[in-house]
């Protein structure tokens, strides 16, 4: 991201009253242990390192789509 990195972006989300409970997955090229720790300390739902092969990337996106369809959330009116 040109103006801020993903961790800075997550800090902004987590301090925003309307967005702080947003479910966020980090999709990145960074395999840095520090970046992973920083992301999970900001309560991300997952930290995913992008594969370098397009076919692997498409397979990963398909898996995430399948995962997303399996999730069940409480009704907004009952939270």
Burial class for 33, CB neighbours closer than 10 Å (0-12, 13-18, 19+): exposed
Range of the domain at 48: 6-78
Hunting for tokens 């739902």 — which residue is that? 45
pTM for the full predicted model: 0.69
Number of folded domains in the chain?
1
CATH code of the domain covering residue 27: 3.40.50.2300
> For the chain, give me the number of helices (H) and strands (E)?
3, 2
Q: What is the pLDDT of residues 7-58, one digit of tens each?
A: 899 999 999 999 998 889 888 889 999 999 999 999 998 898 987 788 888 8
Using CA atoms, how far apart are residues 69 and 13, in angstroms rounded to an integer? 24
Q: Is residue 38 part of a domain?
A: yes
């Amino acid at each position: 991201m040109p103006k801020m990195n993903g961790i800075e972006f997550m800090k902004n989300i987590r301090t925003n009253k309307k967005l702080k409970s947003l479910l966020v997955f980090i999709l990145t090229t960074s395999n840095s242990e520090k970046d992973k720790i920083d992301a999970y300390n900001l309560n991300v739902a997952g930290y995913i390192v992008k594969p370098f092969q397009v076919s692997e990337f498409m397979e990963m996106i398909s898996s995430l789509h399948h995962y997303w369809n399996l999730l069940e959330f409480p009704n907004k009116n009952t939270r």
